[in-house]
């Protein structure tokens, strides 16, 4: 199948990837634009993994106040250069992450950042619930592990489904921007305020 300039442009508009990357992905996907998008996403994740060790000291502090003024968020998002920090794609990511945090209320950036006492309390509740349901004792810990795994996905920011596209996680959304900017991007910290909490 011939890869037309229009098809390359459409893929570029939908993904933000470079022209040559789009053309290669379309060739590899035999002109199927959806397959090409998946290829670009997987390649972006591979590129992001290569950049993960690089120092990210520049960036931006972003904020968002939800309409009505009941929820507010501040985030520090770091990248490698001030050039990328001023980039529209990076600034869009800052805004999207603030809105995501406002909507989903994560407890920490990574699984390791989740408060240990909260995780332990969730495990205890899960074990007591399983005991009360009369499940065999040898299954208690296994079921509790499953509950904790779900708790991690719901409360660690990078593991949460991204609110603007639940088919991907927040980590994958960041990796898309890493692939576009060519720089490592790291969420350093965030704070979420809710009126009355």
DSSP strand pairing (71-79 vs 186-194): antiparallel
SS (H, E, C) 63-121: EEECCCCCEEEEEEEEECCHHHHCCHHHHHHHHHHHHHHHHHCCCECCHHHCCHHHHHH
Residue 54 per-residue DSSP state: S
Q: Does domain 58-109+156-194 have CATH number 1.10.357.10?
A: no
Q: What is the pLDDT of residues 74-100, one digit of tens each?
A: 999 999 888 888 999 999 999 999 999
Residues contacting residue 134 through CB under 8 Å, at least 6 positions apart: none
Residue 108 and residue 192: Cα distance in Å, rounded?
Answer: 10
pLDDT band at 112 (very low <50, low <70, confident <90, very high): confident
Structure tokens at 71: 């929820």
Q: What is the mean pLDDT of residues 109-120?
A: 86
Structure tokens at 35: 């397959």
| 33 alpha-carbon distance from chain centroid | 23
CATH superfamily of 5-51: Ubiquitin-associated (UBA) domain (1.10.8.10)
Nearest to 59 by CA among 148, 181, 141: 181
Q: What is the pLDDT of residues 21-64, one digit of tens each?
A: 888 888 898 888 888 888 877 776 545 555 555 567 789 999 99
CATH architecture of residue range(s) 115-154: Orthogonal Bundle (1.10)
Q: What is the pLDDT of residues 123-182, one digit of tens each?
A: 888 888 877 777 777 777 888 888 888 888 899 999 999 999 999 999 999 988 988 888
| Domain map (residue ranges) of the chain | 5-51, 58-109+156-194, 115-154
């Amino acid at each position: 199948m011939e890869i037309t300039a229009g098809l390359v442009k459409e893929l570029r508009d939908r993904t933000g990837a470079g022209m040559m990357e789009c053309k290669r992905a379309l060739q590899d996907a035999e002109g199927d634009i959806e397959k090409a998008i998946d290829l670009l996403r997987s390649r972006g994740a591979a590129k992001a993994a290569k950049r993960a060790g690089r120092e990210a000291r520049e960036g931006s502090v972003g904020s968002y106040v939800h309409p009505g003024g009941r929820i507010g968020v501040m985030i520090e998002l770091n990248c490698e250069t001030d050039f990328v920090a001023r980039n529209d794609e990076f600034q869009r990511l800052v805004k999207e992450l603030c809105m995501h945090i406002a909507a989903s209320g994560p407890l920490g950036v990574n699984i390791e950042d989740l408060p240990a006492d909260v995780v332990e309390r969730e495990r205890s509740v899960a074990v007591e619930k399983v005991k009360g349901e009369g499940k065999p004792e040898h299954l208690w810990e296994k079921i509790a592990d499953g509950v904790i795994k779900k708790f991690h996905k719901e409360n660690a920011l990078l593991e949460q489904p991204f609110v603007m596209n639940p088919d991907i996680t927040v980590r994958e959304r960041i990796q898309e921007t890493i692939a576009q900017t060519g720089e490592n991007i790291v969420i350093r910290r965030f704070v979420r305020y809710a009126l009355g909490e």
